[in-house]
Amino acid sequence: MVKNYKIPNHKETGVTFASHRFISSDDRYVIAIITYFIHRARRLFHIGLSLVSLYLLLSAGALRAQEASPEPVSDPVSAPATESASPATATGTLTVVVEGLDDTLRDNVLAFLDINRFADKPAPEEIRLNWLYKQAEDEIRQALQPFGYFEPTIEASLTRTDSGGWEARYRIQPGRPMRITELDVQVLGEGAQDPPFQTLLANLPLTQGQVLDQPKYEQIKSVMESLATERGYFDARFTERAIRVDLQAYTATIRLHYDTGKRYRFGNITFKQDFLSPDLLSRYPSFKPGDPYNVNQLLKLQTDLSNAAYFSRVEVNAPPSTGTDTAPVDVDLEPGKRHRYSVGIGYGTDTGFRGKLRTEDRRVNRLGHHYEAELGYSQIKSLVGFQYLIPGDSPVTDEYAITAGYVKQNDDNKDYQTYTIGGSLQMQDGKWLKNYNLGLQYDEYTIGNRPNTEESLLLIPGLSWTWIDADDRIYPSRGLLFGFTLQGATTALLSDTNFLQGTVKLRWIHALNNDNRLLARGTLGTTVVDNFEKLPPSLRFFTGGDATVRGYSYESIGPTDPDGAVVGGKNLLVASLEYEHRVWKEWGVAAFVDTGDAFDGASPNLKTGVGVGVRWRSPVGPMRIDFASGLDRPPGDAFRFSFSIGPDL
């Protein structure tokens, strides 16, 4: 009977290995015929000896009982003495100790030992215990063979412990390792020219001269089969797979040939639905019929459709058709709710109490047009916004928008009302998210000690590009965000003044380990303007607040008028460095320093805030509670509490 076993705590956990010493095309070790029968005879001898011992023990017990008395024993005192003479009646706990091996070998030996099934449990009866103990040597040898050790030295002992239990101890010297003298791994068929297979062959976990390691051999096989499934080689098979062991020369050779056959192609793509335009849906797949099959393309299609607001259920299937060497793609779609309404109430240390009403029509027509409308109110700012959105060439990332909005801010030093109408185009270009916009903006405002209400009309074209590289947008351990915006206006096109404004921002996150992160951010902005007095507050630079320089109230840092009112500046510089440490599950603490200024000249007068905070990785994103102190007073506060929630990038 062929005995199989597993190697726990290994990358190939659950892979089963044959215990013979020769692996032919069916992946089994086979020893030379004589060696095979010697080992089988040895096991049969141990089994026979155990059976004979059992028979003699039972016979001797029956004979002693007859000699003691021909009649049943009736003395209640002498009966227990006869029972206590047999050690099988009180076996105690069994301890199994394996010494002399590294963790990988030791774990595999313990997994293979039948006697280890009773470790730290009541020991079996003594006859069975002795049989398990004696067969352990063969099991140890077989457990070491997949790792290239065929000549171990084993010292075994089975002894009674002081507590009345048993200890089975095995001192093992694995011996010399067997090395691979020939390694022949090939990929045949169309897959031989496929880069992932070429990368696998160039980075095999086994090399010639290395110690034989069957788990790594199984790993190579598994990766080959996974790549074939992922990349559409549905007829792939092994034409040769063998590990050959020469015990006399003490060498091993490996031959592994994998014929991928032809690579299947995507067939026709069919969307099963009746509520959206086929032209819109045809723009979702990143592949077309005739392209090489790739399961990652199907997963992307599934994800992109699931993230769209149009659908409540998405199911993508692409079963291979062997007659045509294609995989037709069937997509089943069910519509989601057309309308969505939401209400939000919250508090921000910059804005005070705030509320929001929002409505969406996710499917205005079969072309996928949709709109969003929002009404917001806080203690210092109110707004009304509307967006009509039209899917672009790639509806996953590209979108046209027609927008209109109204914002009213009431602050101690600046009051303004802003009306906007415009349009924009958003598109994805690699890792760049690009936005181009054109808006007409009308402002009415008072600021500082100026008693009169000013007016401003500007036609503002602009662009905003953002580049993000991160392992997770919500809570990254590694991430970088770089972005810049550029906007302006000219009196030649419906505008009251000429200006050009640019802003650059940078965010960087780096995890030192699983519990510690560094977070840095910076913003740099500048404005060139003919008449700064004609530039409305909504286009001037201010800083201070939860998202910029903590320890200072919202937009309290910037140039001031003769009465000390902050009127905003032409330039902006903000920087922050934060250290975060997780203390328990999703909770952590942070320490930070922020600095920045909004200014008119060439040199900023930086205002600095320091503090500590509490962090919670909530289901909707990181939540931050900070306690900061502004070191420059005024305008800094001795103590300021701030609260924010949202992704780190």
Task: Encode burial over 537-556: b for 16+ CB neighbours within 10 A, e otherwise.
Answer: bbbbbbbbbbbbbbbbbbbb
Q: What average pLDDT does this structure show over 393-398? A: 94
Please tell me the predicted confidence (pLDDT) of residue 349: 67
Percent pLDDT > 70 in the chain is 85
What count of other Cβ atoms lies within 10 Å of the Cβ of residue 17? 24
Q: How sure is the predictor about 77, in pLDDT bands with cuts at 50, 70 and 90?
A: very low
- pLDDT one-digit tens code per residue, 308-344: 999 999 999 999 997 899 999 999 999 999 999 999 8
Q: How sure is the predictor about 91, in pLDDT bands with cuts at 50, 70 and 90?
A: low
Task: Give the tokens for residue 581.
Answer: 């440490």
Higher pLDDT, 161 or 3: 161
- pLDDT one-digit tens code per residue, 18-31: 333 333 334 433 33
- pLDDT one-digit tens code per residue, 144-174: 999 999 999 999 999 999 988 999 999 999 9
Omega before 124 cis (within 30°)?
Answer: no
Please tell me the predicted confidence (pLDDT) of residue 66: 37
Listed residue (419, 423, 424, 413) closest to 448, CA to CA: 413
Q: What average pLDDT does this structure show over 583-590? A: 95
Say if 265-335 and 392-645 have the same CATH topology: no
DSSP-derived letter for residue 560 is: B
Taking the model in full, what pTM does it have?
A: 0.75
Q: What CATH architecture is 265-335?
A: Roll (3.10)
Cα distances (angstroms) measured from residue 285 to each of 277, 282, 288, 316, 407: 14, 7, 7, 11, 39
pLDDT at 40 over 60: no
Cα distances (angstroms) measured from residue 518 to each of 129, 421, 509: 58, 40, 6
Of the given ranges (88-92, 534-538, 540-544), which has the lowest mean pLDDT? 88-92
Please tell me the predicted confidence (pLDDT) of residue 563: 86
Q: Residue holding tokens 């069975």?
A: 128
DSSP string, 137-148: HHHHHHHHGGGT
Listed residue (598, 474, 511, 587) closest to 548, CA to CA: 598
**Distance linking the first and last C-alpha atoms of the chain:** 60
The fold for domain 392-645 equals: Porin (2.40.160)
| Contact by Cβ (8 Å): 94, 125 | no
Domain ranges of the chain: 265-335, 392-645
pLDDT at 649 over 90: no
Q: What average pLDDT does this structure show over 21-49? A: 40
- pLDDT one-digit tens code per residue, 242-291: 999 999 999 999 999 999 999 999 999 999 999 999 999 999 999 999 99
| Contact by Cβ (8 Å): 407, 432 | no
The strands making up 166-173's β-sheet, listed across from edge to edge, are 94-99, 166-173, 153-160
Q: What average pLDDT does this structure show over 423-436? A: 95
Q: Which of 5-14, 61-70, 300-309, 631-640 has the highest mean pLDDT?
A: 300-309
Cα 346 from Cα 90, distance rounded (Å): 70
Q: How sure is the predictor about 451, in pLDDT bands with cuts at 50, 70 and 90?
A: confident
pLDDT at 373 over 60: yes
- pLDDT one-digit tens code per residue, 110-134: 999 999 999 999 999 999 999 999 9
Please tell me the predicted confidence (pLDDT) of residue 508: 97
Name the percent of the chain in helix, strand, coil, to the closest 5. Answer: 20, 45, 35
